[in-house]
Amino acid sequence: MTPVDALRALFATAVGRADPMRSLPAYLPPKPPGRVVVVGAGKASARMAEAVEQHWGPCEGLVITRYGHGRPCEGIRIAEAAHPIPDAAGRAATERMLSLLNSLEEGDFALALISGGASALLERPAGAITLAEMQAITLALLASGAQISRINTVRKHLSAVKGGQFAAAAYPARMLGLMISDVPGDDPALIGSGPTVGDSSTSREARAILDHLCIPVPPSVGAVLTGHSGVVPPLHPALSRVENRICAAPSQSLAAAAAQARGWGWGVDILGDAIEGEARDVALAHARLARARVARGARRELILSGGELTVTRRGDGCGGPNAEYALALALALQAARGIFALAGDTDGVDGAAEVAGAVITPDTLARAHATGVDPERALARNDAHTFFKILGDQVIPGPTLTNVNDFRAILIA
């Protein structure tokens, strides 16, 4: 294999480890007696529903996934909606799901399948907030470069389903939440903005985040954040019959890729599965690390990392955190010999594009200049997807049907 082929194979291994058909069954109990309803949302939710029916048979229920990420199920209905900005289809499906949960009684059982993407896909705006206002706030938050924990705090307090409210709608029925983590630290309260998990943050904190980010607040949003939002405290009785478990996490995917690389005789260093920060800043740090190892004569060494990087949007280009990391890394390495890298989102979607990320090689910059593409200008415009498309170096796996966030691998060949 070439170094690039090897990196692509490692990415496929990481994604495969998080496939719900492989990861979910170990956490699925025997099907309870009585009425059982399966609900959920996220980019992996349809695949999770498929895995449930493989073990339980046809079930009553409804899950919401991203457009193009649906899977065939016998009983569970699959709705598709927009991500990362909520749309009318997601709101309508959320209303149907809440009606389903509200129909449950004591003795019934709800299985909630939650994965990254649920923050946008599962949505009912709180108070008098309109869908258009929610879309504008979400767009501004995503362009701000804020950490996902801060973004999801705001989302919870502007929503009537996040921060435990979704689970509370099922009370007094029992609920088991099975989650695929896409957040640094695997905090269940942050996965999909915690629809099945209580939250102790306040609407005042959410307002402070918006003010700090200089995001305009319409009167409807101000009214919701002035009072007490519907977010459910962790010890609220309505959550007393809810159990949450994580069935797939970034650390497992990194470990699977590391095991494969060690089987090839490579040395492996895992920097962590919860790295956060501005994509281009993290790329600079990783470039220094890689160059230092080359300087001391390292060979056949792999540096792995995961987490969730952010991009502060400055330009009008097409990009995402993983592609921007790769482009910034290439610029920082300045064609250093023997260093190859891949950065990709395990859900196959980097930013809003149907592209997971990109690969770089020691001749990335030379090939760019030969084709008349300016890498520095592309980075300044946040146009990394266009840059790598021209070079033919994008990572495009299609819908992976799972989501354990960023996968980054630097190979010193």
In a domain, 19, yes or no: no
Q: Is residue 72 part of a domain?
A: yes
pLDDT value at residue 227: 82
Residues 83 and 225 in one domain: yes
CATH number at residue 392: 3.40.1480.10
Residues 125 and 205 in one domain: yes
CATH number at residue 73: 3.40.50.10180
User: What pLDDT is recorded for position 279?
Assistant: 98
In this structure, the answer to whether residues 236 and 273 fall within a common structural domain is no
Question: What average pLDDT values come out for the chain (413 residues) when binned by 10 residues?
Answer: 97 98 97 97 98 98 97 97 97 98 98 97 97 97 93 97 98 98 95 97 96 96 91 97 98 98 98 97 98 95 97 95 98 96 97 93 98 97 98 97 97 97
- Considering the domain architecture, whether residues 173 and 272 belong to the same structural domain is answered as no
Q: Is residue 402 part of a domain?
A: yes
Q: Are residues 237 and 264 in the same domain?
A: no
Both 284 and 363 in one domain: the answer is yes
| Predicted local confidence at residue 352, as pLDDT | 82
Give residue 139's pLDDT: 95
User: What pLDDT does 353 receive?
Assistant: 85
99 and 138 within one domain? yes
What pLDDT score does 228 carry?
A: 79
Question: Is 22 a domain residue?
Answer: no
Q: With helix as H, strand as E and coil as C, how does the chain read?
A: CCHHHHHHHHHHHHHHHCCHHHHCHHHCCCCCCCCEEEEEECCCHHHHHHHHHHHHCCCEEEEEEECCCCCCCCCCEEEEECCCCCCHHHHHHHHHHHHHHHCCCCCCEEEEEEECCHHHHCCCECCCCCHHHHHHHHHHHHHCCCCHHHHHHHHHHCECCCCCHHHHCCCCCEEEEEEECCCCCCCCCCHHHCCCCCCCCCHHHHHHHHHHCCCCCCHHHHHHHHCCCCCCCCCCHHHCCEEEEEEECHHHHHHHHHHHHHHCCCEEEECCCCEEEEHHHHHHHHHHHHHHHHHCCCCCEEEEEEEEEECCCCCCCCCCHHHHHHHHHHHHHCCCCCEEEEEEECCCCECCECCCEEEECCCHHHHHHHCCCCHHHHHHCCCHHHHHHHHCCEECCCCCCCCCCEEEEEEEC
Domain-embedded: residue 286: yes
Residues 264 and 347 in one domain: yes
Query: 106, 173 in Cβ contact below 8 A?
Result: yes
* Interatomic CA distance for residues 171 and 48, integer angstroms: 23
Last residue in a domain, options 226, 248, 270 = 248
Which residues, at least 6 apart from 372, have a Cβ–Cβ distance to it below 8 Å? none
**Where among 212, 233, 248 does a domain terminate?**
248
> 107 and 242, same structural domain?
yes
**Phi, psi values for residue 76, rounded to 5°:** -70, 125
Same domain, 295 and 202: no
Domain holding 176, by residue range, is: 31-248
Identify whether 274 is part of a domain.
Answer: yes
Query: Looking up tokens 């949302």, which residue turns up?
Result: 41
Angstrom distance (rounded) from CA 37 to CA 31: 11
What's the domain count of the chain?
2
Residue type, 12: A
Q: Tell me, yes or no, whether 20 lies in a domain.
A: no
Would residue 366 count as lying in a domain? Answer: yes
Q: Are residues 316 and 244 in the same domain?
A: no
pLDDT at 17: 98
Q: What is the distance between the alpha carbons of residues 108 and 390, in angstroms, rounded to a whole number?
A: 54
| CA–CA gap between residue 258 and residue 262 (Å, rounded) | 6
- Is 85 in the same domain as 228? yes
Asked which of 199, 223, 248 is the last residue of a domain, the reply is 248
* 261 HSE (CA, 13 A, CB side): 30
